[in-house]
Amino acid sequence: MNIFSILGLLSAGIVFVIGLRLSSPTLGIFWDVPSAFIVVGGTLTSTAIAFRLDRIWVLFKTFFKIVFIKNVTANSKIITEMIKIGDAYRKGTPLEALASKSSDTFLKEALMMVADGVMTQERIVKILDDRANNQDVERKEEAGKLKVVAKFAPAFGMLGTTIGMVVLLANLGGPDSLKMIGPAMGVCLITTLYGCALSNIAFLPVAENLILHSKNLYLKDLIVIEGTKLIMDKQNPVILAEELNSFLPPENRINWKDIVGKA
């Protein structure tokens, strides 16, 4: 569970509600059905035109899975696992048995390709590079879609503002003009509020979180590729540890003495 992302979500909601509460003791004045319909309905329809709605929903499910179920796999954990695999492989344990115990899908695929013995090392590395790059591009493109969707909500907020101004101006000369001013101005301003809130509390933060998640996964894949090269060469686990430690900041680096011989 990613406690910091959860705290961020809660903080954003709390700040927004407190801001509304400080502005008025009656939160009900910030609720307007036409405004909500224009912003939410307009954003959904524009998203359906631009992208598949089910893909946007999948992105949100991915985000909440990251936040509430599991965080990005720690790179130090992957390195530790690869050091143990490399050490066991040098001592004669078949890669098929080691791959089946791997907790990472990309690492498992890499080890199985090596264990099959069909392709050369150069070909295996090229395939892994291609997969890592293609997956990274796809993940970033998917997350980037949310940034596009984030533009729709404020746009429909401004559209609602325009609608409210039209209604307001059209009724200024009528007998009930004073009664029309309040509801019309409500639609004018609340639609803008809804559009900004939906964009900056929901879509943009989720998109940035998913892009960061994608970067972390790509770094993890690079570690797996480099570690697979060293495992294929049956390098000493000390060399494997020090090579892969280069991907980590100093405070997170692995002490191979705590791992080698304890696998």
Q: Are residues 26 and 42 in the same domain?
A: no
Query: For the CA atoms of the chain, what is the radius of gyration?
Result: 27
Q: What is the pLDDT of residue 128?
A: 95
SS3 94: coil
Q: Which two tokens stand for residue 92?
A: 């004669």
Q: Which two tokens stand for residue 140?
A: 């970033």
Apex CA 240: angle with CA 239 and CA 244, to 5°? Answer: 115
Q: Are residues 47 and 26 in the same domain?
A: no
Structural domain for 77, as ranges: 33-263
Q: Are residues 91 and 112 in the same domain?
A: yes
Flag the least confident range among 2-11, 169-178, 188-197: 169-178
How far is Cα 206 from Cα 210, in angstroms, rounded to an integer? 6
pLDDT at 40 over 80: yes
Q: Are residues 209 and 106 in the same domain?
A: yes
In this prediction, residues 129-139 reach a mean pLDDT of 94
Domain count, the chain: 2
Flag the least confident range among 19-28, 113-122, 130-139: 19-28
69-103 pLDDT per residue, tens: 655 557 888 999 999 999 888 888 888 888 888 88
In this prediction, residues 28-55 reach a mean pLDDT of 85
pLDDT band (50, 70, 90) for residue 263: very low
Q: Are residues 99 and 220 in the same domain?
A: yes
H helix intervals, the chain: 3-23, 33-36, 42-50, 53-64, 75-90, 95-100, 105-116, 121-170, 177-197, 204-232, 237-245
